[in-house]
Chains A and B, each alone.
Chain A
Amino acid sequence: MNKTTLKISGLRAKIENKEILKGLNLTIKSGEIHAIMGPNGSGKSTLCNVLMNHPKYEVTGGSVTLDDQNLLEMETDERAHKGLFLAFQHPIEIPGVTFANFLRLAKNANKKEKAIGPADFHKVLKKSLGTLKMNDTFAERFVNAGLSGGERKRAEIVQMSILKPRIALLDEIDSGLDIDALRVVAKGINDIFEKEKPAILIITHYQRILNHIKPHFVHIMSDGKIIKSGTGALAHELEKHGYEKYVK
């Protein structure tokens, strides 16, 4: 499979006139797992939202390319078609729309592959739900409606396993998960990584998910910038010393 590269250079972005990203540089490639760690308010979630083109954020400078194409000129759905995926920190409810129907239409919206019918899709979905230890009945439940925080996070990974992104941004996928659920989610992510070799960017406050998913690179983010990058060992150092050592 061809390598996919997402290159972020000097990215600046604001929300309601407040600048959040202040010249961020980061390059990630398929087959790599990156983790961005940082204190609250450092701009980690903003980065995910800006990369996916959330309408509330405005890019004020810098560039982002996906395999040399200008990502910032693309609509949100176009970015998805190019292989970008965001696992949401707070997945929202869509009442009246079943998970199976939503996900099949999403799968078929990316017209690179032949459209999949409801019967075949049901089999694929059932398998994926099983991997994430979710009951079959989730297929016919409305998207995220009445799901616990942990179930929503698992459902995000089910979507990732079916949509098969080239670049996956996982925004605090570990928050609100108990230790068993964390294991299940981490295994789901590891399985996808082994099979599809996408680029994965894990955004997290805590080191604990990195006990289950081994990142190749760890970055520390503070005040809208990456202030230090290193290998997986950096996460352990952070755990020992806290952010204070790095954040001025």
Chain B
Amino acid sequence: MAVPTQTKKLIDTTFGTYKFGFRTHVASAFKSPKGLNEKVVRKLSERKEEPKWMLDFRLRALEIFEQKPLPQWGADLSKIDFENLHYYIMPPEKGMKNWGDVNPEIAKAFSLLGIPQAEKKFLAATSAQFESEVVYSSLHEALSKQGVIFDSTDNALKNHPEFFKEYFGKIIPSNDNKFAALNSAVWSGGTFIYVPKGVEVALPLQAYFRMNSDNMGQFERTLIIADEGSKVHYIEGCTAPVSSANSLHAAVVEIIVKKNARVQYTTLQDWAHNIYNLVTKRAYAYENAEMFWLDCNIGSHVTMKYPAIYLMGRGARGEVQSLAFSGKNQHQDAGAKIIHAAPDTSSIINSKSISKSGGRTTYRGLLKVAKGAHNIKAKINCDALLLDSDSRSDTYPTNIIEEDDVNIAHEATVSKIGEEQMFYLRSRGLSEQEAGSMIVNGFADPIIKHLPMEYAVELNRLIEMEMTGSVG
């Protein structure tokens, strides 16, 4: 994201409505036939020239996926037509270290999205995934000299197999849930990051995910390992063309934050309003480590996503700040999970949701304090803002507390956009829309302020666009 204004204007005038809804016309190098079976998985693994253990891992996951029923809680997933999806679409193969080497049509799409422009200005590393594969990936030379690894997960599996044996699928096993199993069976693309001991990456690393085809599934797999005392901030952005056909995005993100390390993972999700976004994200934070999820869900038809933090070592800290916006025909079922598995750990969950034009938001959270985890501090805050009486918001917090010396604060509010606030702002000359955007942006401000400035501006703009109703 962080699309330059000029580019945005171009996109607005060219495509109108949902500004990332344009489609790129490019022939794929390979496309698996619709539907999912063992043959599709074998073919995919073969094309990727994977080691046998990975093929076995995929096939076991496929079995789990087929056995597990759809979740009977959360958003309505009954309309997903698994037989009508392409599970793997490979864009034309090219070099991926320079934009000049990327297929020109695909490079153009990312340029319209402002990715190379943002890369020049304020990113330490950039990757771009188109359909099922990463087509561009680049890391500042200084960082690569310090031993930082930033690559597509497919490449990393080839070049750094030692990390995969130790960590891949260990934080989120295939049998965790149906969609983690699906991802494990057909994963492709995603980002691998390793930050060596003591290395602090000052600028954010960014990955951008683009789905271009109808009826496709995108299943990127991300693995981040922050070694002792290191620091890194990773940002992901997602968009897709507007189409009538429902596509599925089911990612798995595993993060290991070692002793004294810090990871921030920021998501700006703005999928087109026909996409099912069912993502499993989990981090393990060890002694005195800090994990920070900043999760903004603006787009998609249905999102189910509950970034989790397991506080595994004494003194570890976890924080989840999340923002959800649901408009017409959208359901954001999002939240957070924090597991205090060690003493002296602390956590913060701050969730804000906005519902408009019949949109629905759900906060679903889990706070667990395990036996033996003494002296725990936890704070949970959920605020929902309803912009009209057609919209809906629900809160489902679950607390499982197995120790006594815990300090837990929980607050939840639901408010309707105030008639008096609207009247006040309009009496100063602001239109109904301007006043509404101002109130909503103000409501979201405590989350937005955690974003780097360029992204904060972008998110404010996205909210304004959603408020004008020009989307979807």
Q: How far is the CB of A192 from chain B (nearest CB, A)?
A: 16
Would you call B420 an interface residue if the criterion is a C-beta within 8 Å of the partner chain's C-beta atoms? yes
Chain B binder among A13-21, A89-97, A221-229: A89-97
User: How many residues belonging to A are interface residues under a CB distance threshold of 8 Å?
Assistant: 28
List A contacts of B429 (CB < 8 A). Answer: 77, 80-81, 106, 109-110, 163
**Is the Cβ of B434 less than 8 Å from the Cβ of A109?**
yes
What 0/1 readout, one digit per residue, does chain A (157-168) give for beta carbons within 8 Å of chain B?
Answer: 001000100000
C-alpha spacing A128/B418, complex, angstroms: 28
- Cβ-closest chain A residue relative to B423: A54
* Interchain nearest-CB distance for A2 vs B (Å): 20
Over the window 85-112 of chain A, the binary record of Cβ atoms lying under 8 Å from chain B Cβ atoms (1 yes, 0 no) is 1101001101111000011011001100
Contacts A76-B427, A80-B427, A105-B430 hold; do A142 and B420 have CB atoms under 8 A apart? no
Q: Which residues of B contact A35 (CB under 8 A)?
A: none
Number of A-B contacts (CB under 8 A): 74
Give, as a whole number of angstroms, the nearest-CB distance from B450 to chain A: 13
Contacts of B424 in A (CB 8 A): 88, 91-92, 94
Q: Could you say which residues of chain A place their CB within 8 Å of the CB of B419?
A: 55-56
A52 near B442 (CB under 8 angstroms)? no
Cβ–Cβ contact A163 & B428, under 8 A: yes
Which A residues touch B99, using CB under 8 A?
none
**Across the interface, which residues of A come within 8 angstroms of B98, CB to CB?**
none
In the bound complex, do residue B420 and residue A92 qualify as a contact, i.e. CB atoms below 8 Å apart?
yes
Q: Which residues of B contact A79 (CB under 8 A)?
A: 427
Q: Smallest CB–CB gap between A96 and chain B, Å?
A: 3
B423/A102 in contact, CB under 8 A = no
Which B residue's beta carbon lies closest to that of A48? B427
Q: A75 at interface (Cβ–Cβ under 8 A)?
A: yes
The residue on B at minimum CB distance from A109 is: B429
Task: Report B412-433 CB contacts with A as 1/0, cut-off 8 Å.
Answer: 0000001111011111111110
B426 smallest CB distance to A (angstroms)? 4
**Which residues of chain A are near B421, meaning CB under 8 Å?**
92, 94
Chain B interface extent, by class: 20 to 34
| Residue B156 lies at the interface, judged by CB distance under 8 Å to chain A | no
Chain A residues with Cβ below 8 Å from B423 are: 52, 54-55, 76
Confirm or deny: B443 has a beta carbon within 8 angstroms of a beta carbon on chain A. Answer: yes
Min C-beta distance of B29 to chain A, whole Å: 47
- Give the residue name and chain of the B residue nearest to A90 (CB): B420
* B 405-459 contacts with A by CB, 8 A: 418-421, 423-432, 434-435, 438-439, 441-446
Binding site for A on B (CB under 8 A): 418-421, 423-432, 434-435, 438-439, 441-446
Q: List 27 A-B contacts (CB under 8 A).
A: A52-B423, A52-B427, A55-B419, A55-B423, A75-B426, A75-B432, A76-B423, A77-B426, A77-B429, A79-B427, A80-B427, A85-B427, A88-B427, A92-B424, A94-B421, A95-B445, A96-B443, A96-B444, A96-B445, A97-B438, A102-B428, A102-B438, A105-B430, A106-B425, A106-B428, A109-B430, A109-B434
Known: A94-B442, A102-B438. 4 other contacts (CB 8 A): A76-B426, A77-B426, A85-B427, A163-B428
